[in-house]
Amino acid sequence: MKKAIVTGANGFIGSHVCSELSKCGVKIYAVIKDTNENISNIENLCDLEIIYCELGDIESLYDKITDRDIDVFYHFAWVGSAGPLRCDETIQLQNALWTAQALRTADKMKCKKFVNAGTITEKEAYSAIYAQESKPGLPYIYGAGKLAARSICKPIANSLDIDLCWAVITNAYGVGEISPRLVNSTIRKILSGEPLQFTAATQNYDFIYIDDLARAFVAIGEYGKPNKEYVIGSGNARPLKEFLLEMQQALAPDITPVFGDIPFTGVDLPLEVFDTTDLENDCHFKPTVSFADGTRMTMDWIKETPQSNI
């Protein structure tokens, strides 16, 4: 891979992928929403060009980037991946349409491959929605939007001259993330001395540290096969409780976590859903950062970075 386009390039995942691509000597066209966006996490990377483009105007990339020899188009931009907009059906369906427009634009620009950031929430949403008499909550609309995007994009890609790879992220965490998701919120509770209370945490889960995630996306860009899904995780999925105990022992061995005080209303996916065999075999990728080490590095960053406060 010599050249890549990255949408959502200044986001948590996009910025780390840009950093990894830069280390590999790849020319990067970093697509950012507008000039008000903070680009401090990518602006000093080597051979990176900033392109300003709203998602709703994604087709204009054809004119804004005149290079017609781009290897991979990475699509991370997605409105409402966190917060109340996860429950907004209008914006989530619009995201799916924007993803399809990005794919068609990438093909028009003669990009060779389109790698989209999917999520394990797609599988949770499918399971929750299609189960008989189930009562899925509004947050599943986000996963449904991602499912819609995949359902639209796969047939489109096969009608065009571009390869599509769908990268399913299990749960990313690490330095640079400021969302109130599980790892972040748990670390902040430890730092503030709050009690650690969880569900029974018997549901299957997996995590991957952000640096490993970025390497996985580069590997998929290099070696991913068309029409394939690649699950990105540790390769060692297990009940969530085991991850939480590993984090607690690494970060706060004197604190006793309490399991079962909070009701669990989600979906327990089977372990085979988290299988990373294709990623290992096709793309020659294996993660290198253990969950304990990754959470230690994340905690150190939170301590040292005042602006990381949620």
Average pLDDT of the segment spanning 94-113: 98
pTM: 0.96
| pLDDT band per the 50, 70, 90 thresholds, residue 305 | confident
Residue 64 lies in a domain: yes
Say yes or no to pLDDT of 307 above 70.
no
Task: Supply the CATH number for residue 39's domain.
Answer: 3.40.50.720
Backbone phi, then psi, for 299, in 5-degree steps? -65, -45
Question: Checking phi first, is residue 260 left (phi over 0); if not, alpha (psi -120 to 50) or beta?
Answer: left
Contact 164, 154 (CB under 8 A): yes
Domain hosting residue 95, numbered range: 3-169
Say yes or no to pLDDT of 309 above 70.
no
Say yes or no to pLDDT of 308 above 90.
no
Contact 173, 209 (CB under 8 A): yes
Residue 266 lies in a domain: no
pLDDT tens digits for range 139-176: 999 999 999 999 999 999 999 999 999 999 999 999 99
Residue 107 lies in a domain: yes
Task: Give burial (CB, 10 Å; 0-12/13-18/19+) of 96.
Answer: buried
The whole-number pLDDT of residue 272 equals 97
Q: Which of 143, 146, 144, 127 is nearest to 135 (CA)?
A: 127
Residue 135 lies in a domain: yes
Residue 269 lies in a domain: no
Residue 301 lies in a domain: no
| pLDDT band per the 50, 70, 90 thresholds, residue 265 | confident
Contact 173, 232 (CB under 8 A): no
d(CA 211, CA 217): 10
The CB density around residue 57, as the number of other CB atoms within 10 Å, is 12
The whole-number pLDDT of residue 59 equals 98
Sheet containing strand 72-75, edge to edge, reads 48-52, 27-32, 3-7, 72-75, 113-119, 163-169, 228-232
d(CA 231, CA 171): 11
Tally of domains within the chain = 1
pLDDT tens digits for range 19-54: 999 999 999 999 999 999 999 999 999 999 999 999
